[in-house]
Structure 1
Amino acid sequence: MLIDIIAGARPNFMKIAPIIKALEARKAESGPLRYRLVHTGQHYDPRMSGDFFEQLGIPEPDVNLEVGSGTQAEQAAGIMIGYEKLLLGERSALCLVVGDVTSTMACAIAAQKLHVPVAHVEAGIRSGDWGMPEEINRMVTDAITNWFFTTSEIANANLRAAGVGEERIFFVGNTMIDTLLGNMDRLRPPAFVEELGLEAGGYFVLTLHRPSNVDATGPFAALLTAIGEGTRGLPVVFPVHPRTAKTLRELPGFPENIKLVDPQPYLEFNWLVKHAKAVITDSGGITEETTVMGVPCMTLRTTTERPETISIGTNELLGTDPASLAPALERLFDGGWKKGGIPEKWDGKTAVRIVAELERLLF
């Protein structure tokens, strides 16, 4: 029986890799499921996708829809058209989507229009912030999903509150953590470590890409200034997202200890995170990885869809006011940051649970 696995953007690749590995393991045991890997082409820069396929052992996609750049509406439309044509040519028994990118929502819609059931991995997470495109993607996808694979009891509660029946919710854990734990001994330093003088616990990692933080030069410059001052001269390694690079070019300057580097492949980026004094970010997924690695994390957002990284893990929500950074960084340097723990079922076995449930549901 054929299932489609959808991937379109960098966050997806970490989530599908262990699922593919679990399916291949079951295939070797004469398991009944076969898969078709569909890359939508939402991220088409090799630095944002190609490296991940190679490093994480993901096979070459069976299909690449090659949607490319465009507005969110243009990308969604292109993905829906391409995936609809694929299903009309060879129908699958299930569309498996992961996360909350445009590809996730678009393929879920196209599948349901053709009466192909949808399973959503990382279902039920909510930030409550409709200003985030990802929040709209999550809500739309979950509104038309048949089976929900969740990362936490908080996500389960969100789905129950939306009227989803218990029999459709499967609390399996976090496939991103499967990938992290499965590659921990393969993490490797980037080539620039010596050049930048990076020492374990002696530098920060910074990632910023959300429109509220990086699209306007004034607020962006104020954040960078606060980060530069609060980190006490330690290097701040800043892998620059293509979106962020546009605004950076318009700034007259930024603190000297902020070191700009290209987007990093998975193994190099997580090596940086593992050995950092702390991470400053506006990403959601990174807060999960820092939680498992026990690395202090400061999130420059007013909301989060991963509250367990705060209530259990090492993450704290600081908001977007640059003034919030100084006291948080002072507490870090004084040794007052919380130790944190690891959420339930973030144990590296999530993909095996997902594949077992899929076999039960489809057969």
Structure 2
Amino acid sequence: MKRKRILEVIPLALVGFGMVMICSSTLFFVVKGRSFTPYLFKVFIHVFLGVSVFYLVSRMKLSFIERISPLVLGFSILLLVLVVVAGKEVNAAKRWLAVPGSGFTFQPSEFAKLSLILYLARYLSRKSGEMRKPRNLLFPLGIIFLVSGLILLEPNYSVSVLTLCLGLLMLYLGGANPLHILMVVVLFVPLGLIHEHVRERIQVFINGNVPQVRNSIVALGSGGIFGVGLGRGKEKLLFIPCPHTDFIFSVVGEELGFMGTFGLMVVFLLYFINSMRASMDASLLFSKYAGCGLSLMIFLHFLFHAGVVTGILPPTGIPLPFISYGGSALMVNLGGAGILQSLSRGKG
């Protein structure tokens, strides 16, 4: 199969698989006496919008995307400020903005990751060969810290850290001195630990006192090689919180077994390898940097999510790309996949 075909088929296949797993995961609503029909309706809306974004973006010229990237980033920063000031509060966190009259909400932090990657790709392409100079790091670092800091104020620690990681990785790919990047990391970690909530989560994780992670591992183990069967998992019913979002990988493990989770890992790895190769083969520097950044965004989301449900990382609330319930994340990931598809077609 040709690379451009792989980069089209895999995201759409994962979205279809995600719809099946969300339907299976939301059975816990029935157990709790709630209807899961509204969720399924929203899933179809999310998928329709996400796939529309995928095909729309895949037909855009990358030169056009490069030109509008500063405007997109500026708009994303404005939305992040708006979230902090007037966002919808859920569980003591303001992460969502409501769409008036629709009943829908969205997370600007998801769009901010994508816009940051595109803007940094533009900056790095224009500073090619000059990124080892410390003065050329100041401006992009300021943008990265501004976006990560606004997300941290929501507060959304996991997305803030992930955004910071993506930004620093892009600077490294752009030729920045690794020592300078390491110095930034050393400075940032103590700042993150200032927040009591972060310290508590790390301490709980180190002590092994995380019930949802223990139950997630039980679900993975009970699936065996081939799983208990689609829709027949028990851990999702009462023991795993948010099985349709933050822990959907464990539902896959219980119901489809090791073969299901291993197959999913292979698919994500195959997508990552092909998207990175397509990026490196691109003729334009912007395309190279944007493609690498978007490939890393999708793959790091997968690694973070899988790391949480297997107990390797503390609970972070990172959704599984293309599969977990959530319209903002789905549209951003499909938007990123659309850009990678455009890149593989050579649409400069």
Judge same fold: TM > 0.5, yes or no.
no
Relative to its length, the structure with more strand (as a share) is 1
Q: Scaled by the length of structure 1, what TM-score is found? A: 0.26
Higher RCO (C-alpha 8 Å, min separation 6): 2
Q: Scaled by the length of structure 2, what TM-score is found? A: 0.27
Relative to its length, the structure with more helix (as a share) is 2
